[in-house]
Structure 1
Amino acid sequence: MDQGNTAFILIAAALVLLMTPGLAFFYGGLVKAKSVISMMMLSFGAMGLIGVLWVLYGYAIAFPSSDGVVFPWAIDWSALGLQSLLETPEGAAYPPLAFVAFQATFAIITVALVSGAIADRAKFGSWMIFAGIWATIVYFPVASWVFNFGLAEDGSFAYGGWITYGMQEFFGVGAIDFAGGTAVHINAGAAALALALVLGRRVGFQKGVHVPHNPPFVLLGAGLLWFGWFGFNAGSELAADNTAAIAFVNTIAAPAAALLAWLVVEKIKDGKPTSVGAASGAVAGLVAITPACGSLTPFWAIVLGIIAGAVCALAIELKFKLGFDDSLDVVGIHLVGGLIGTLYLGFLANGTGLFFSGDGTQLLVQAIAAVSVLVYSFVLAYVIGFAIEKTIGFRVKNEDEIAGIDTVVHGEEGYVLADVKA
């Protein structure tokens, strides 16, 4: 066992876990003051629920051992409760539980990302039910499609997910998704769009009405996300090597370029660059570089960041033009950014991209992967959300939304500026 790589994976897992509290701050600062606790609790609720489900059966679904390609759904019964993973096999590079821990943090933040689309108006209990079901039938299987891999003793392919390995068997090249452009960002973005449609628009929804109550929270959250994203991207190499270093540098370059591009678009479009725009631009760049961080040179990572920052800055306006209330722009940043990063690889992935190889196969498989995950997640998320809304209800009453749902749902206030004595 390589203790250096084991430490690397465990540290990366801790960094990725920190991203969910970072997301809570990022989302919490974007909503109104009377619903900041509710918003942050959606992320913390996901940490608790998905952390438990991952140990009980999530890992067994996401990483089943089998013969050939895993599609669309499988489970490793011996891995339920992680019972078969307690010992490290002889010759293994790292303990199986180190990988389990790393992937658990991916599952947690992917579910938490979805919550941004339903800010200010969702019941906490209904969200928890949705999160558990969606993780079980959407995230865990999709993670298997993208991240599951296994090799025979001679190093040849033994089993794996259809997106990365199945298409390689069929097309000669598999989709590239180094750290989760499809499994995390397109997946969460599509589910967010579905829930935004199910729950409908907030009271008084129109451009300029709902403004962030705490931009410093947004900047703090973006900073924590960026910090944790180094574990997300570089850690996905599962080894402290040159590829991890490339992923690390690209995780600096792309979001930095996206931040600048977003601010330029904001300045041209609205006349002023904003702190929320800077934070959003950095996150857009992080989203876009996620699938591509191990397959681009730093120069092309900067180009990707510029494209993602500019396009996502414009894409967040779609909700006003199309009439859906994606409260915190999960669609405009994560779905659009994930699509940009995934498809960009079809053109500029080292060695296999169209511009380098003259062959469009890589672009084809990237598109198949992106569209498949988008459709699968959107349809099932819509069905789950619709069923919850029509049974126990997913949305709070309009009067509770107007008053602020922190006290109604959680019995707390985010800001108590003075103690009132009886």
Structure 2
Amino acid sequence: METGINTGDTAWVLISAALVLMMTVPGLALFYGGMTRVKAVLNMMMMSFSALAVVGVLWVLFGYSLTFGNSIGGAGIVGNPLEFAGLKGLMSESAVSGTIPTLAFVAFQSAFAIIAVALISGAVADRMKFSAWLVFAAIWAVVVYFPVAHWVFAFSSEDDSTIGGWIANGIEALDFAGGTAIHINAGAAALALVLVLGKRIGFGKEPMRPHNLPFVMMGAALLFVGWFGFNAGSALGANTLAAVAFINTIAATAAAVIGWLVLERLRDGHATSLGAASGVIAGLVGITPAANSVSPLGALAIGLVCGAVSAWAVGLKYRLGYDDSLDVVGVHLVSGLIGTVLIGFLADPASPAGVAGLLFGGGPDQLWRQSVGALAVLVFSFVVTFVIAKALDLTMGLRIPAEFEAEGIDTRIHAESGYDLNPFGGRIGKGGLAQPSSTPAAGSAETPETETLNPEGSVK
């Protein structure tokens, strides 16, 4: 049967979908889990796993339809949630998107939705109720992510029988793989959420270093590999566009690591493993919107700027007084903004996007489009997330009790510990909470020696 399906393109998109899913679990789970203190590692990893669960269900029920369904009223704001509810009508061989089965595209985009929600969790480490996180993740996906993804990723059909989002089709801002829809969106949401949630106990006064830097570096490595599915996979085919996005991703990431480490060395006197891992993420975030519109030299420039500026920006939380635990704002929001706006300067007409930026004779035309798109997503995400967080805080409460935070969210919320340091084992007491013995064994998590062996706090 002639369906227009290309098996090579389909294989690449399905592999890319798996790579992007790997970015959340285990990639982001390890990256964020290693950056937390020892008493919160399981909770942090659980937030990534739960984002996959919550968003995965919503995506099948109506999330895909809200994102890629025909725009309600042709306004470009949100898709029709009933058009593909339950993914109805998409199992047929006639359901084709370009050269791939539509369900392959559905799978690919599901991974984008999942990681967009999971990214926010890094800002609230140690102190947010797990129940509140689950409710927040569900509401935010429906009210913020699905509409914004519709704005950015849903393109109108050539005959206008299907109307897409206003950013993609109205102002025609370029966002190849999610600089606005995912990174600016999640970064702005993270800032709003932490302003409502408040600071960790001891923030700015006590050391809060990452407890497991090998976890952080392994997580960053998995994110790096998975990101080729994120960017090159967004070509939706095994073609020249995928190759351009692939090499630009390598170039920007390499330059960002150098930019971060050089600034870190000049500022602090040391180039650290945490800095290298963070530089990887900054470069990946920065090139995400621009992977199809700049040359490899342009990618190097974007990466270098993102690495250096994000390395500086992560320290703003101490000056401005907001507690973004794992630097979601400093890396994802800042590098997402840089990469999106720099398209207006560095877009190369020889690239697959075929758009000329300011430095290539295109004038300010693309620059204003990029700026408006980025600002619209930032403001919408921040304002709506702030309202969601305030409503949840007033109804169910966002934050765990102070004593739970002091003892550790893993023990008090999940009745588990990431590391069994007690050679005699442990036990679960009344209410499912871990009950330490009256005389803790030497080296257990309750002894002062353990705190010495497992220092907690920020390296910044």
Deviations 1:156-205 (A, max 9, x none): 795221111111xxxxxx10100000000000000000011011010010
- CA change 1:212–1:149 in 2 (3 A) is same
The residue number in structure 1 matching 2:34 is 29
Range that drifts further, 227-236 or 412-421: 412-421
8 Å CA contact 2:63, 2:81 repeated in 1: no
Which secondary structure does the structure 1 equivalent of 2:418 belong to? coil
The residue number in structure 1 matching 2:342 is 344
Deviations 1:376-398 (A, max 9, x none): 10011111111111111111111
The residue number in structure 1 matching 2:102 is 96
The residue number in structure 2 matching 1:71 is 76
Q: Report deviation, 1:122.
A: 0.7
Task: Provide the C-alpha distance between the structure 2 equivalents of 1:188 and 1:48, rounded to a whole number of angstroms.
Answer: 18
8 Å CA contact 2:411, 2:417 repeated in 1: yes
8 Å CA contact 1:70, 1:144 repeated in 2: no
The amino acid across from 2:39 in the alignment is K
Q: Report deviation, 1:84.
A: 1.9
The amino acid across from 1:237 in the alignment is A
Which secondary structure does the structure 2 equivalent of 1:71 belong to? coil
The residue number in structure 2 matching 1:44 is 49
The equivalent position to 2:158 in structure 1, one of 142, 152, 155, is 152
1:130 counterpart = 2:136: yes
The residue number in structure 2 matching 1:257 is 255
TM (norm. structure 1) is 0.95
Q: Report deviation, 1:85.
A: 1.1
Q: Report deviation, 1:399.
A: 1.4
- CA change 1:77–1:126 in 2 (3 A) is same
The residue number in structure 1 matching 2:382 is 378
The equivalent position to 2:324 in structure 1, one of 323, 326, 345, is 326
8 Å CA contact 1:63, 1:76 repeated in 2: no
The residue number in structure 2 matching 1:420 is 424
- CA change 1:197–1:66 in 2 (3 A) is closer
Range that drifts further, 395-404 or 201-210: 201-210
The equivalent position to 2:195 in structure 1, one of 194, 197, 206, is 197
- CA change 1:393–1:158 in 2 (3 A) is closer
Q: Report deviation, 1:151.
A: 2.2
The residue number in structure 1 matching 2:186 is 188
Q: Report deviation, 1:373.
A: 0.3
Task: Provide the C-alpha distance between the structure 2 equivalents of 1:109 and 1:419, rounded to a whole number of angstroms.
Answer: 37
Which secondary structure does the structure 1 equivalent of 2:176 belong to? coil
Deviations 1:55-84 (A, max 9, x none): 001001000125995422231413000012
Which secondary structure does the structure 2 equivalent of 1:78 belong to? coil
8 Å CA contact 2:35, 2:216 repeated in 1: yes
Task: Provide the C-alpha distance between the structure 2 equivalents of 1:191 and 1:30, rounded to a whole number of angstroms.
Answer: 20
- CA change 1:228–1:208 in 2 (3 A) is farther
The residue number in structure 1 matching 2:454 is none
The residue number in structure 1 matching 2:309 is 311
The residue number in structure 2 matching 1:269 is 267
The equivalent position to 1:221 in structure 2, one of 206, 219, 222, is 219
The residue number in structure 2 matching 1:247 is 245
1:84 counterpart = 2:89: yes
The amino acid across from 2:410 in the alignment is D
Deviations 1:77-135 (A, max 9, x none): 13000012111327751111000000000000000000111001011110000000000
- CA change 1:45–1:66 in 2 (3 A) is closer
8 Å CA contact 1:3, 1:94 repeated in 2: yes
Of structures 1 and 2, the larger Rg is shown by 2
TM (norm. structure 2) is 0.87
Structure 1 or 2: more helix by fraction: 1
The amino acid across from 1:127 in the alignment is W
The equivalent position to 1:15 in structure 2, one of 11, 16, 19, is 19
Q: Report deviation, 1:208.
A: 6.5
- CA change 1:343–1:227 in 2 (3 A) is same
User: Unaligned 5+ residue runs, structure 2?
Assistant: 350-355, 427-460
Give aligned-pair identity as a percent: 56
Task: Provide the C-alpha distance between the structure 2 equivalents of 1:204 and 1:90, rounded to a whole number of angstroms.
Answer: 55
1:107 counterpart = 2:105: no
Task: Provide the C-alpha distance between the structure 1 equivalents of 2:62 and 2:330, rounded to a whole number of angstroms.
Answer: 32
1:354 counterpart = 2:358: yes
The residue number in structure 1 matching 2:443 is none
The residue number in structure 2 matching 1:163 is 167
Q: Report deviation, 1:27.
A: 0.5
Range that drifts further, 8-17 or 65-74: 65-74
Q: Report deviation, 1:421.
A: 5.5
The amino acid across from 2:340 in the alignment is T
The amino acid across from 2:203 in the alignment is F
Which secondary structure does the structure 1 equivalent of 2:84 belong to? helix
8 Å CA contact 1:347, 1:353 repeated in 2: yes
Q: Report deviation, 1:327.
A: 0.4
- CA change 1:81–1:116 in 2 (3 A) is same
The amino acid across from 2:370 in the alignment is Q
User: Unaligned 5+ residue runs, structure 1?
Assistant: 168-173
Which secondary structure does the structure 1 equivalent of 2:194 belong to? helix
The amino acid across from 1:186 in the alignment is I
Task: Provide the C-alpha distance between the structure 1 equivalents of 2:304 and 2:88, rounded to a whole number of angstroms.
Answer: 46
The residue number in structure 2 matching 1:368 is 372
Q: Report deviation, 1:324.
A: 0.3
* More contact order relative to length (CA 8 Å, sep ≥ 6): 1
- CA change 1:421–1:322 in 2 (3 A) is closer
The residue number in structure 2 matching 1:170 is none
Which secondary structure does the structure 1 equivalent of 2:164 belong to? strand
